[in-house]
Structure 1
Amino acid sequence: MSDLDDIRDILGFEPYRGAPIDWEAASQALGARIPSDFRELINATGAGKIGYDTLLLQPFAINTNYDQIRRHHEWIRDLEIIWEEEKDFDPEDQTKPLIFNEPDIRPILWGASGLGFNLYWVARNDTDPSTWQIAVEPARGGQWEFHPGTATNLLLRLLRGEAASLYLRSLCTAEQHFFTPDM
């Protein structure tokens, strides 16, 4: 069974019946290829919410709360402003993870939460997107978390309680094991 099949078994979501997603246009809008596991996940679920709070974003979603492209550009703009303002701070007071100072590496948003965290790929130019790690940003301060593996693999490990995360730990509880599609 694939990670997507296991996620489907845990969350019990119905197949997505919305309009097909233009993944090529989405990749162009984000400036990078979108990992295939995420394309498969969103093709299966559409935009929606895991449990009470974790949002899966979809490129060009009609509901702007779930529009990956719009939210990505907003958050990246906000991060750039914050990181620019922090340049003169002592290094221990800066919130920008050092990895994003490396050339050709940047965050690309794919999930979010009202609890104050965002899920990103750590995108590396000219590398296979399936090799990107996942970053979790605590939007209200705190240390970023970094996780190996794909988006679907991380979600599955979180749902099973197999991945340690300060910000996403509630996903392992059975009461969070449902999916609400964005309608």
Structure 2
Amino acid sequence: MSNALAALQEIVPPPDGPRRKDWTGIERALGTGLPADYKELVRVYGGSNWDDHLYVLEPGCPNAHYDLLAWAERQAEDLEDLWVHEERPAELEEDGTRVVPWAVTDNGECLYWLVRPGLDPDGWTVMVNEARGARWEHFPMSCTRFLAAALSGELRSDVLSSSFPLAVHEFRRLGPA
């Protein structure tokens, strides 16, 4: 278990019953491997809502609105269309660099992994894009570390809602819509 996941479990105790996934099939469908900390996050918490604001995407999520594979496909198309009219963030200028979504908010912000050519998925960092805007933030940490740091108040984002995190954390595992 990663230190970030252990910190997250201190903040929000995990629900009962792990979620099992066929990661080989998921990664094949996505066209890339995924970070080990994310796989562990999904195993322990599943697709989930944090503090009634942030939704961690899950491949094959019981609530289809938060399926990682569907979001990845949609976002790739939407961003390519967007970058015809807007400038790419500096972090995405290197050829072959892209982003893959791992979480969204109820306001429409999207949290991505920054995927660089030749970089192992465990080295991916977090990018946050504001809803309906061109502002991006980069956080040089894993998704699980980002979530734990955001919930603990250690990390503040200028893009995410100022009401996140809540003083008393709320958590729910996502089920059917």
Q: Tell me the number of residue pairs that the alignment of Structure 1 and Structure 2 aligns.
A: 173
Q: Distance in 2 between matches of 1:16 and 1:137?
A: 32
SS in 2 for 1:135: strand
Aligned-residue CA RMSD (Å): 1.7
Structure 1 position 25, deviation (Å)? 1.5
Q: Distance in 2 between matches of 1:17 and 1:133?
A: 25
TM, length-normalised to structure 1: 0.87
Matched residue type, 2:76: I
Unaligned stretches of 5+ in structure 1?
87-93
Higher helix share: 1
Counterparts of 1:71-86 in structure 2, within 5 Å, are 71-84=71-84, 86=85
Q: Distance in 1 between matches of 2:6 and 2:17?
A: 14
Structure 1 position 17, deviation (Å)? 4.2
Q: Distance in 2 between matches of 1:98 and 1:17?
A: 38
TM, length-normalised to structure 2: 0.89
Q: Distance in 1 between matches of 2:39 and 2:18?
A: 15
Q: 2:172 aligns with which of 159, 180, 183?
A: 180
Structure 1 position 31, deviation (Å)? 1.7
| Higher mean displacement: 95-104 or 50-59 | 95-104
Q: Distance in 2 between matches of 1:55 and 1:140?
A: 18
CA contact (8 A) 1:110 1:120 kept: yes
Q: Distance in 1 between matches of 2:66 and 2:17?
A: 15
Query: Which position in structure 1 is the counterpart of 2:136?
Result: 144
Unaligned stretches of 5+ in structure 2?
none
Deviation string for 1:100-152 (max 9, x for gaps)? Answer: 23112100110001212001000112212122210001121141010011011
Structure 1 position 11, deviation (Å)? 1.7
Counterparts of 1:36-55 in structure 2, within 5 Å, are 36-55=36-55
CA contact (8 A) 2:27 2:33 kept: yes
Identity across matched positions, percent:
29
CA contact (8 A) 1:12 1:179 kept: no
Q: Distance in 2 between matches of 1:67 and 1:172?
A: 23
